């Protein structure tokens, strides 16, 4: 029986470097890590006793039958409200979070104690402690320094914006961005997360996963549209992912931001797992014709190839 299974984060039937279809004998519906080829048959040793329906892309959710710590949930609700409002007072935060002013005030005192919030007059805003935490998280990604240097060179050579995005919990998250003097500052700032199907980098990442993994993401988040050009049909998404696998590059034409186009290529580690994607973005009047369809894709491919070689021998 030939089936599609999850082996790490790669799909045996859609391996970018090995197009051989594997014959698999296993109990379908679970995740498998240890695969032993025996006379053309792959013996699957379960990686986890949990069924596929309990697994979510990018990690597992908190178990639905287990309670969370309410005070932490409340603090994060306040932090999120502060981020969206770009600073606010106690009364405004209470209205935005449906909490009492006394509860908001207590949580703010704790957040101030740990450097997560600062107070200026009667208004509170997020503190620079998050910058320290974010920089630490970013530095943990494989090849982070190498990728940052390559993006700087890529932005300078193209005169556009260069980004590196990764997948987390079914979203595309911008880990690094560099913008040339003539480049456009789009919504894709560092740390920004997007529905993964809306961006070229996100689609490049999706193309490296199995169809079942992609369906998990679609079932969980849907296909929300940012513009009239965003892919909002599941069949159309799978058709495009198949094309991306064939050509090794993803395109975005005003699917996340009107007036903006981008080109992206997935980055894989030495073990074959997808690490993220490098993208170049610019205004539609500059990303046209051969430059959009051939020159930029070839350039981004060459940069990704250098990144992958450096990662493999580092």
Domain containing residue 208:
141-312
What value does the mean pLDDT take over residues 138-150?
91
Buried b / exposed e over 268-302, threshold 16 CB at 10 Å, is beeeeebbbbbbbbbbeeebeeeebeeebbebbee
**What pLDDT shows up at residue 313?**
86
> What are the phi and psi torsion angles at 244 (to 5°)?
-65, -40
Cα 104 → chain centroid: 32
Q: What is the mean pLDDT of residues 229-241?
A: 97
What does the DSSP 8-state code read for residue 21? P
Contact between 313 and 300 under an 8 Å Cβ cutoff? The reply is: no
- pLDDT at position 5 over 50: no
Average pLDDT, the chain: 83
What pLDDT is stored for residue 37 in this prediction? Answer: 38
Instruction: Single out the residue in 86, 105, 131 at which a domain terminates.
Output: 131
Mean pLDDT, range 275-298, rounded to an integer: 97
Same domain, yes or no: 109 and 197: no
- pLDDT of amino acid 56: 52
Q: Are residues 267 and 146 in the same domain?
A: yes
Return d(Cα 70, Cα 74) in angstroms, integer.
Answer: 6
The 8-class DSSP code of residue 62 comes to: P
Q: Is residue 1 part of a domain?
A: no
Helix ranges, the chain (H):
70-85, 90-97, 101-113, 129-139, 144-158, 200-206, 211-221, 234-247, 289-290, 296-312
The count of domains in the chain is 3
Whether residue 61 lies inside any domain: the answer is: no
Query: In terms of DSSP bridges, do strands 41-51 and 23-25 run parallel, antiparallel, or are they unpaired?
Result: parallel
Q: Which residue from 117, 111, 119, 81 is spatially nearest to 97, judged by alpha carbons?
A: 81
Mean pLDDT, rounded, for 157-179: 96
The answer to whether residue 65 sits within a structural domain is no
CA–centroid distance for 279 within its chain:
12
Instruction: Please name which of 231, 209, 304, 298 lies closest in space to residue 266, comparing C-alpha atoms.
Output: 304
**Would residue 64 count as lying in a domain?**
no
- What pLDDT does residue 246 have? 96
Name the pTM for this structure. Answer: 0.76
Q: Are residues 199 and 302 in the same domain?
A: yes
**Mean pLDDT of all residues in 246-257:** 96
202 pLDDT higher than 60: yes
Three-state secondary structure call for residue 302: helix
Pairing of strands 250-253, 117-120: unpaired
Summarize the confidence of residues 242-266 as an average pLDDT.
Answer: 97
Q: Are residues 165 and 125 in the same domain?
A: no
């Amino acid at each position: 029986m030939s089936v599609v299974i999850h082996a790490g984060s790669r799909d045996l039937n859609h391996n970018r470097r090995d197009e051989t279809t594997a014959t698999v004998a296993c109990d379908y519906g679970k995740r498998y890590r240890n695969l032993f080829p025996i006379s053309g048959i792959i013996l699957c040793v379960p990686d986890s006793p949990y069924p596929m329906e309990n697994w979510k892309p990018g990690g597992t959710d908190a178990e639905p039958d287990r309670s969370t710590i309410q005070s932490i949930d409340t603090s994060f609700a306040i932090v999120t409200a502060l981020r969206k409002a770009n600073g606010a007072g106690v009364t405004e935060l209470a209205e935005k979070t449906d909490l009492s002013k006394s509860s908001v005030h207590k949580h703010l005192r704790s957040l101030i104690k740990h450097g997560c919030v600062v107070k200026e007059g009667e208004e509170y805003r997020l503190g620079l402690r998050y910058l320290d935490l974010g920089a630490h998280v970013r530095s943990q990604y494989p090849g982070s320094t190498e990728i940052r240097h390559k993006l700087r060179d890529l932005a300078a050579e193209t005169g556009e914006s260069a980004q590196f995005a990764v997948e987390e919990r079914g979203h595309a998250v911008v880990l690094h961005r560099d913008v040339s003097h003539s480049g456009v500052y789009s919504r894709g700032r560092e740390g920004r997360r997007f529905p993964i199907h809306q961006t070229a980098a996100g689609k490049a990442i999706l193309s490296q996963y199995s169809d079942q993994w992609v369906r998990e993401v679609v079932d969980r988040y849907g296909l929300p549209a940012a513009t009239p050009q965003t892919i909002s049909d599941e069949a159309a998404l799978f058709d495009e992912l198949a094309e991306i696998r064939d050509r090794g590059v993803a395109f975005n034409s005003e699917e996340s931001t009107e007036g903006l186009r981008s080109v992206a290529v997935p980055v894989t580690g030495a073990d074959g797992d997808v690490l993220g994607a490098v993208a170049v973005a610019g205004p539609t009047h500059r990303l046209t014709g051969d430059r959009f369809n051939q020159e930029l894709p070839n350039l981004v491919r060459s940069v990704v190839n250098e990144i992958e070689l450096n990662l493999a021998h580092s």
